[in-house]
Amino acid sequence: MALLITDECTNCDACVPVCPNEAISEGDIIYEINPNKCTECVGHEDEPQCILVCPADCIINDPDHEETRDQLQAKYEAMQG
């Protein structure tokens, strides 16, 4: 499943540089994660890097974009080639 940044976001910018898929961008009010690019770092890392660096603990699983690890892996592979 893709990840989602909640309104608890403090716009600290910590998550942007660690996203290997460049899925995080500045939204109108808070940062946003593009669910089409988010693989939860599958294919790059063992766990989502944005969650590890977020000081506000505001990054959660996006209930509107549920995906299995296999689906995330397939998305990663599709973006690579």
How far is Cα 39 from Cα 20, in angstroms, rounded to an integer? Answer: 9
- Global pTM reads 0.93
| Predicted confidence (pLDDT) per residue in 62-71, tens digit | 999 999 999 9
Backbone angles phi, psi at 53, to 5 degrees: -95, -10
pLDDT at 1: 79
Closest CA to 5 of 30, 28, 42, 41: 30
C-alpha 53/C-alpha 62 separation (Å) is 18
- Counted residue by residue, the chain has a size of 81
Domains of the chain, earliest start first = 3-80 (3.30.70.20)
